[in-house]
Amino acid sequence: MSYDEYYVKSVIRTISDWPEPGIEFRDITPIFKDPKARRMVAHAFVQRYMDMDLSAIACIDARGFLFGAIIAHELNLPLVLVRKKGKLPGDCVHQEYTLEYGTASVEMQSDALAEGDRVVLIDDLIATGGTILAAMTLIKKLGAEVVEAAALINLPDLGGATKIQDAGSPVFTLMAFEGH
Ligand code: AMP
């Protein structure tokens, strides 16, 4: 089944003014209720990464886990998690990043990746890029290389994808939405 951007976009639900006024929340949960859309998205990522020389898929808490798990399974690759602070047991590396109000922190287990690993990093959406940039820092701390950062949705008006590219990683997204 080939990827149909028009169809997948029509399945994504937009909720205005959530979680705060001015945000157009792009809700990807309906994709998981719609096996056709889910298969199209999975297929698009799997096609792209099938012949790349990768050693792992890394995915970001929490919606990135949903896509990451499918892609890693289909590509027969290890899956490693970038989680919000305090969720992972054992020895971890941490990275703080700035939000509009305050800071947040992401973590990976120290043995998740090693020198020489080649990783694609997956999330659902790129807004300011802060989350992916923090995750990239963690992956590099572990000695691995981010071959590409990927998300289903880009919000180009917020400039995150450009910041990620400026930080040295190619970016791949399946679609864009205007605004916040
Ligand atoms: P950022 O770090 O600014 O690129 O924000 C990306 C993270 O915040 C992703 O993990 C998204 O799930 C979430 N996010 C930010 N803006 C939106 C939005 N408009 N709709 C849905 N999720 C969003």
* The predicted structure's pLDDT at residue 101: 80
* The predicted structure's pLDDT at residue 82: 98
CB 154 within 8 A of CB 132: no
User: Which CATH code fits 51-176?
Assistant: 3.40.50.2020
Domain layout of the chain by residue ranges: 51-176
* The predicted structure's pLDDT at residue 171: 99
CA distance 113 to 126: 23
Ligand 1 centroid to residue 69 C-alpha, Å: 19
**How do 24-27 and 13-16 pair as beta strands?**
antiparallel
Q: Is the CB of 147 under 6 A from ligand 1?
A: no
- With helix as H, strand as E and coil as C, how does 128-155 read? CCHHHHHHHHHHHHCCCEEEEEEEEEEC
Given ligand 1 and candidates 16, 97, 131, which is best to mutate, with the most ligand atoms within 8 Å of its CB? 131
pLDDT in 10s for each residue of the chain, 180 residues:
789 999 999 999 999 999 999 999 999 999 999 999 999 999 999 999 999 999 999 999 999 999 999 999 999 999 999 999 999 999 999 999 998 788 999 999 999 999 999 999 999 999 999 999 999 999 999 999 999 999 999 999 999 999 999 999 999 999 999 998
CA distance 180 to 177: 8
Q: Is the CB of 169 under 6 A from ligand 1?
A: no
Nearest residue (CA) to ligand 1, atom 3:
128
